Structure 1
Amino acid sequence: MTGLGDWTDFAGLAKVQDALLPDTLAAAAASPFYRERRDGVPAGRAELEDYPLTSKEDLRDAYPFGMLAVDRSRLATYHESSGSTGTPTASYYTADDWADLIDRYARTHVGIRPSDTFLVRTPYALMLTGHVAHAAARACGATVVPADNRSLATPYAKVVRLLHDLGVTLTWSLPTDALLWAAAAERLGLRPGHDFPALRALLVAGEPLSPARRDRLARLWQAPVVQEYGSSETGGLAGECPQGNLHLWADRAIFEVYDPATGRLSAQGAGELVVTPLCRQAMPLLRYHIGDRVEVTRPDCPCGWVLPVVRVLGRFQDGAGLTQVGLEEVVFRLPAEYGVLFWRARHTRHGLAVQIEVPPRHRHAATAELTAAIGAAFGVDVHVEPLPPGALVPVRVLTAMPEVMKPRGLFAADEDWDRALRYY
């Protein structure tokens, strides 16, 4: 593991943070956004605690360069969120910022080696995640397979071929993607836990992951599942230790937990995560309210890392305490032989409606067990609807091959010229 110091307790960790914080506050003072918020309080914890939370809406209002704290000539890359809610959030990094991003990513406890073939299956384009994994893998000497995501050029069947034919050893993806690969592999006559012997770990991030789904993935692929947590605006914020705990990189950021009911912020507990990155030049963020629901603790972890532990619960929770990660845990506790990999749920006026893909021979048992388990866990009325395989994830999605062609205007007599000038 790279980049960790020799502090032995949380008081020592706080000293590391305090040493980095003045430079962070000075960098923020050069940002148009924070320049207006600065009130002259002496640099340090007192000044940081005087700042209000920085929200995603603040970042949207500052689009594109209202958060910039350096001359644009120093920028190495520019990134944006998906912008699904309207105006995207922008983020940007200097070369020094990139050195920090790479170092945090390379901390994965399974290591990234020159002998590895590393398949990157998260988005590239304007998003950060694929670029960070690619850069970290190259910095460690690994061979990168830039499979991307959301790309017509690398559908699931092609990913399976790459995993198999290239002897891929490490992957980087959403947890859901690894489930889809398993389903696609079986459609292609391959066994995920047998026909990919080179695979030594699945690195995942981007969505909450319950212990039950994590265990299912590990059993499917016969490889450990190693989780990371972060955001496009901050890069990696936490990584998993050999004991399976997700540790916050508190030597590179100050983390707080916000209680929306009281407005209080604390170093641990349950609430919404707030982060102040400490090694950021281009776009300093002070008390950035990510919004993810978390539980932060400071256990004496057997791994020896003196870093807080975080459980990421996602952003949605109803009044009964039902979260996606909680519901997912119940779904994936169903016996593996039932073959339930894909599901969805929503609230209705009659209670909770859940749909699962399940083979006909297991539909009655799976339906009865899941109905009882959800009712017992959450105390809600639930209707579970069993669907045949392919109903939620169509077979064509799992088996389709690339349909990308270069644009051209001249076609032979037997060619489909409706494809003229198109990329798809």
Structure 2
Amino acid sequence: MTQVATRLPQLGDWGSLDELTELQNRQLSTTLAWAADSPFYAARFGGEAPADRADFAKLPLTSKDDLREAYPYGLLAVPRARLATYHESSGTAGRPTASYYTEEDWVDLAERYARKWIGISAQDTFLVRTPYALMITGHLAHAAARSKGATVVPGDNRSLAMPYSRVVRVLHDLEVSLTWSMPTETLLWAAAAKATGLEPSKDFPALRSLFVGGEPLSDARRARISEIWGVPVIEEYGSTETGSLAGECSLGQMHLWADRAIFEVYEPETGELRRDGFGQLVVTPLYREAMPLLRYNLADDVEVSYEPCPCGWALPTVRVYGRAAFGYPVAGAKVTQNRLEDLVFQLPVDHGVMFWRARADADLLRVQIEVADTWRDDACAALSGAIEAELAVPCEVTGVPEGTLVPRKVLTSVHDVVKPRSLFGADEDWDKALLYY
């Protein structure tokens, strides 16, 4: 079945949650028909495809293991000649989870990502600093920025060709106005900028906003990143299997794109599925033809609410905990990264703490923070007191010199990235033959 060209829903096309549900229902029958064309769902349906919301509600969840079992093309619902891109998830362990999209699917993907309240325009220079290899994240931001006319700088990540020193140069010299990365990246850029004598909040005047995603972000760390750079930090939530699922409104609330997907909350202990509350997020993309996913359990811990947001969007809001809800036991209490991170970044900005690590022993939480000598005693005492008061666990907080957790050479080095060759002169190192570095 070929996707019929149609206008995708736009923000403002509905005025209430009832109208939003009706919009979902109108598209759902087409989504179900697309799914019936894939071997996986054809076998699951047993020859009788579901037709409406009532049938849909009876379907079992689709899991990540289902995707692994169906690798590579068991979920393909269109001829392979129609595919535009193929991807695999970064979180795959063992067998890969495949994802693929048509050109029409990409229109939906790019539009969802581009729903940033701060806006993306042809006047922007957009640095994409997430991986391009196999995962969707870099390609997604690239396509969305180009759809708005922005100039894209394909910075990639985990690449020898783009060390932190080069990132800082590009940010400064090209007058980058928007960026896309994991939150931790923005702190590494700040440290790399300071290592070259630049002040993040003053020496990058073109920068308008930092778009971030890919890891849990506490309120305190977000505020610190914004303070360091002097611009808004706008969070995005999604996955390689689904594309963008939620983004922020101008009031800082994360909204699920429920005009483009159906969202449910799954309680693993009871098996209950509901529309809101705390549990694991289950998603059904409505405009995904190449690889339809029905009731796909992302297994991310979230909290979904349908309380109205003052921004006026008639969309549910979501708090994403991801794997942050997972914790380690210390002296009878559970310590999670999200709660601990919040305490670290509540330290005064003057202390300059950006990097930390912790180890949860059975009876003691050991924490190390990078901090200058001037503030070391104050920072360690403050964090130790906060941990014992808020988390109620015994702790040992140690301050280590700057450059201990993130070595300065990581922030300032320039890698020797060359083209491969086989012929060398007498005084050259021919052990580098055929290598790219």
Aligned to 2:360: 347
User: Which amino acid in structure 1 is aligned with residue 245 of structure 2?
Assistant: L
Q: Distance in 2 between matches of 1:366 and 1:266?
A: 44
Does the 8 Å contact 1:158/1:402 carry over to 2? Answer: no
**After TM superposition, what 4+ stretches of structure 1 lie above 4 angstroms from structure 2?**
none
Partner SS state of residue 350, structure 1: coil
Q: Among all aligned residue pairs of Structure 1 and Structure 2, give the percentage whose two residues are the same amino acid.
A: 61
State the Cα distance separating 1:413 from its structure 2 match: 4.2
Report how far residue 386 of structure 1 moved: 1.7
Counterpart-to-counterpart distance in 2, 1:325 and 1:106: 27
- Match for 2:24: what amino acid? Q
TM norm structure 2:
0.94
| Map of 2:195 onto structure 1 | 187
CA offsets, 1:148-170, max 9 Å, x none?
00100001110000000000011
For 1:403 and 1:144, locate their aligned partners in 2 and report how far apart those are by CA, in whole Å: 24
Render the CA deviation track for 1:345-388: whole Å, top value 9, x for unaligned: 23212232222111122111111111121222222222222211
2:403 equivalent among 387, 390, 395: 390
Partner of 1:26: 33
Q: Does 1:279 align with 2:287?
A: yes
1:193 Cα offset (Å): 0.5
**Which of 11, 17, 21 is residue 14 of structure 1 equivalent to?**
21
Question: Does the 8 Å CA contact 2:32/2:50 hold for their aligned counterparts?
Answer: no
Q: What's the RMSD between the two structures over aligned residues?
A: 1.5
From 284, 287, 297, the counterpart of 2:305: 297
Deviates more, 1:311-320 or 1:230-239: 311-320
Q: Does 1:360 align with 2:403?
A: no
Q: Which moved more, 1:240-249 or 1:33-42?
A: 33-42
Question: What's 1:334 paired with?
Answer: 347
**Is the Cα contact below 8 Å between 1:70 and 1:282 reproduced in 2?**
yes
324-333 or 274-283, which deviates more: 324-333
1:21-420 matches, cutoff 5 A = 21-38=28-45, 40=48, 42-82=50-90, 84-316=92-324, 317-318=326-327, 320=333, 322-420=335-433
- State the Cα distance separating 1:42 from its structure 2 match: 4.8
1:221-248 deviation line (CA, Å, top 9, x unaligned): 1111111100000000001100001100
The unaligned stretches of length 5 or more in structure 2 are 1-8
TM-score, length-scaled by structure 1: 0.97
What amino acid sits opposite 2:193 in the alignment?
A
How far did 1:274 drift?
0.7
CA contact (8 A) 1:338 1:366 kept: yes
Helix, strand or coil: the match of 1:113? coil
1:83 offset after TM fit, Å?
A: 5.7
Asked if the contact 1:3–1:104 (Cα under 8 Å) also holds between the matched residues in 2, the reply is no
Q: Deviations over 1:16-50 (max 9, x none)?
A: 11111111111111111111221537512222221
Deviations 1:270-291 (A, max 9, x none): 1111111111100000111101
Mean Cα deviation higher: 164-173 or 74-83: 74-83
Of 356-365 and 245-254, deviating more is: 356-365
* Paired amino acid for 2:56: L
